[in-house]
Structure 1
């Protein structure tokens, strides 16, 4: 069950050899029996055990973003013989991943990816707070796959076109590249790379760290983009714009003036459709310029989304009142919709 499917020992024998610990033997034995009787294929790699991705008989492309749920508060002696049938009962599973310790216990959390977003929404509605054992209720919420990398320590002379060419040659699935001045004391630049999927981003990270990429032979650091760094970079690069344009996160994105509350309505409808809970907004004015420009910070918290969405926005406050706060809500709603894949 470890590594590739070709040339492996029978599943039951491989699992029995791996689990030499006496911990939790009865539940491990039940899992072995279930695997043997169902013929289900489980593959263990790098601290997780996976079913599917794709499962037998799958036809077509992988599921779209927003189709995966995060499962937490799992009893440590619970395994796939209980969890996979439970999560299959509400929709078609594309993949199920259980995180494991070296002793063979689960680490208390797992991921279930469905064939579409509707399946993930049904799982949240039906199984969040489900008691898998007496008095042990699990948490089920939307999972959002990491697709962004940060590259720090780049030379200050590096150009966007040069870096873009290198990345297109060395990696696959690059959607967007932005360059920023370093946030630390050292001179240089930081790049943010956005990829088409978590898998593409993970493969890019591996290629840039281990591959023979000339630009990355220097002392650069490639890691998953941290939320605090993302917010710092957004704050540093934004200056009062010269014209009456409201920027969202980057110069390429603008807040449409023709539909002043379109994103708010779409986000509310999407959260109801996917059973994510009611979005809650926080906004505040953090800077005011003499020429009338005001800088706002905004955040939206979605109950079934583990990480809040936040950004900054420059607004020309021509009239007093709450207009700036409303524009900030619309901007952060747009950001949340993009993170949800809409």
Structure 2
């Protein structure tokens, strides 16, 4: 592999950089080098390429690039994976790169080679590149929109402020409003993001401070939350519609029927059971009158809880009682397999009788 050149910010000379970049096109006239809209594009010349432009599957994203590393180092490096159709390095206003670039190859096999060869490649000591497939993100996310703004007004403003809008999706709640705007191309979305950062606050007014950023391109579940869809055309104006619910959408399972006692009644039942157990432990020779009192206690507790039944069989509360209306029995309730809440205490009494 060719030696990697790197320079500290104090050593980089812009005139020297220009001469190094010029040598790229002089040594290979099949490519052109142009700078536009914050990116420098090294691309196949029209006379050197015939046919359609390679698909998006042929492009890779290159991240974690040192800010003083430029095309004279990166292009020869990534040429080793295959023939480059285009190499785009993002540049800031000072002339340094912004830490990432895009390399498009003539076919997807060469793009896969680039990922295999240069992902985690040590371009400098302790400095690894990150290379992965490029994602054609055409969506912008706008949050903190004033919730009182009508949906039609949001759609109208976005179409007026930006070009290549394909659709606007809106999500509302009681105190917030957000939108995802989809554009026809990644370039259209990038230009729109730059325009909206400067114009959105002034457009909505009323002290609004909307936040504008890229949306997550690989999140279809997130997009489903934005159910209000808006479009605009000169002939029809603003058209709003509601995204249909999906048939297979997940919904929480229904709550299982519960026949437990109310908290206050359940606590009282447990306290009375513990008192009876302590009394039985202190007086194992309990007489018949004591047993009769304990049976009366069971009956009174059954009345308090609204639960009846004999033996080990019980039924859920039905009809009207002293505590007001009660829930009707569930069709899934089976009295022959459901254990009575007081059965444990009844078994204790039966055991005391046997003694």
TM-score in terms of structure 1 length = 0.48
Greater relative CO, 1 or 2 (CA 8 Å, sep 6+): 1
TM-score in terms of structure 2 length = 0.47
Structure number with higher strand proportion = 1
